[in-house]
């Protein structure tokens, strides 16, 4: 792992206890076939790599069958995520192509930037930011190991070598303060149980003048859409935002200069750390 990437990570165990520290160092995990791992000098926790992906997320129980997280880890669905699953589901309330184009525009990545793609999934957005601008470091983070493994295979096949993939839980934030010029999160804010805390974490990990670009979904305006969204919420614990709610989450975290684009129920917004 590049030293510059390692410096952007903190121990999630220490962070959860209120002591976020840059205490991680790279070691060779003798018990894991000599593969790389990270070690916390403060709490002595080890974080081994799984298929070259560092696992900084705590162990969690098996997801409930047919839940959203279960779907994100179900291999047959992961295999068709990019070309079938995500585009079809998104088309009901937004448009994936529009989301990707708009996110790329608002991110406005330039050479030398440090970037975090939070909830990167299979890396479809991550690749947008890694290709033309040659950022210094770009990290793709997600809770689903099958998604990350799929992303790693895709990037290797396409010759993308400037992305570091990390398994991470946004609720146990493993990123150091003032580490990134840009942070992006698409298709996940509506799934997070404590989204306000995530906004605060994102704010802390942005450098001064850095930007956060988020893509999510708002409540429908017509009755039929509202009924459909209520049914989906009951089955999959999805939260539908309204624009003012997102503005409030951003401002409470300290962000300024709200900018947004909308398409059907889809919204892509950009806020800045002053």
Task: Give pLDDT tens digits for 73-116.
Answer: 899 999 999 999 899 989 988 999 999 999 999 999 998 899 99
Q: Two tokens at 146? A: 């099958």
3-state SS assignment for residue 60: coil
Lowest mean pLDDT among 18-22, 114-118, 119-123, 267-271: 18-22
Nearest alpha carbon to residue 182 among 143, 147, 142, 130: 130
Lowest mean pLDDT among 82-96, 172-186, 239-253: 82-96
In this prediction, residues 240-269 reach a mean pLDDT of 96
First to last CA, the chain: 31
Q: Two tokens at 267? A: 């919204």
3-state SS assignment for residue 86: helix
Element (DSSP H or E) covering residue 38: strand 35-40
In whole angstroms, give the CA distance from residue 153 to residue 12.
26
pTM of the model: 0.92
Structural domains of the chain sorted by starting position, each given as residue range(s) with its CATH number in brackets: 53-272 (3.40.50.150)
Q: Would you list the DSSP string of 192-258?
A: -TTHHHHHHHHHHHEEEEEEEEEEEEB--SSHHHHHHHHHHHHHH-PPPB-HHHHHHHHHHHT-EEE
Cβ(207)–Cβ(180) below 8 Å:
yes
Q: What is the pLDDT of residues 126-136, one digit of tens each?
A: 999 987 557 77
Q: How many CB atoms lie within 10 A of CB 252?
A: 12
């Amino acid at each position: 792992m590049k030293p510059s990437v390692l410096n952007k990570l903190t121990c999630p165990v220490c962070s959860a206890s209120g002591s976020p520290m840059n205490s991680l160092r790279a070691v060779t995990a003798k018990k894991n076939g000599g593969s790389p791992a990270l070690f916390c000098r403060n709490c002595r926790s080890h974080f081994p790599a799984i298929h070259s992906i560092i696992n900084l997320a705590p162990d969690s129980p098996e997801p409930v069958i047919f839940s959203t997280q279960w779907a994100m880890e179900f291999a047959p669905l992961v295999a068709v995520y990019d070309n079938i699953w995500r585009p079809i589901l998104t088309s009901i309330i937004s448009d994936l192509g529009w989301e990707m184009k708009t996110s790329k525009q608002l991110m406005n990545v330039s050479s030398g930037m440090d970037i975090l793609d939070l909830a990167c999934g299979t890396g479809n957005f991550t690749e947008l930011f890694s290709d033309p601008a040659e950022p210094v470091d770009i990290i793709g983070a997600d809770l689903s190991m099958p998604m990350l493994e799929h992303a790693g295979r895709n990037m290797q096949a396409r010759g993308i070598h400037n992305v570091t993939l990390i398994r991470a839980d946004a609720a146990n934030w493993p990123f150091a303060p003032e580490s990134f010029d840009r942070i992006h999160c698409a298709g996940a804010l509506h799934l997070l149980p404590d989204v306000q805390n995530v906004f605060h974490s994102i704010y802390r990990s942005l450098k001064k003048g850095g930007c956060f670009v988020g893509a999510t979904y708002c409540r429908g305006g017509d009755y039929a859409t509202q009924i459909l969204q209520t049914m989906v919420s009951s089955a999959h614990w999805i939260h539908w935002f309204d624009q003012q709610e997102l503005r409030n989450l951003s401002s409470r975290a300290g962000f300024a200069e709200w900018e947004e684009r909308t398409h059907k129920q889809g919204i892509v917004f950009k806020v800045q750390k002053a």
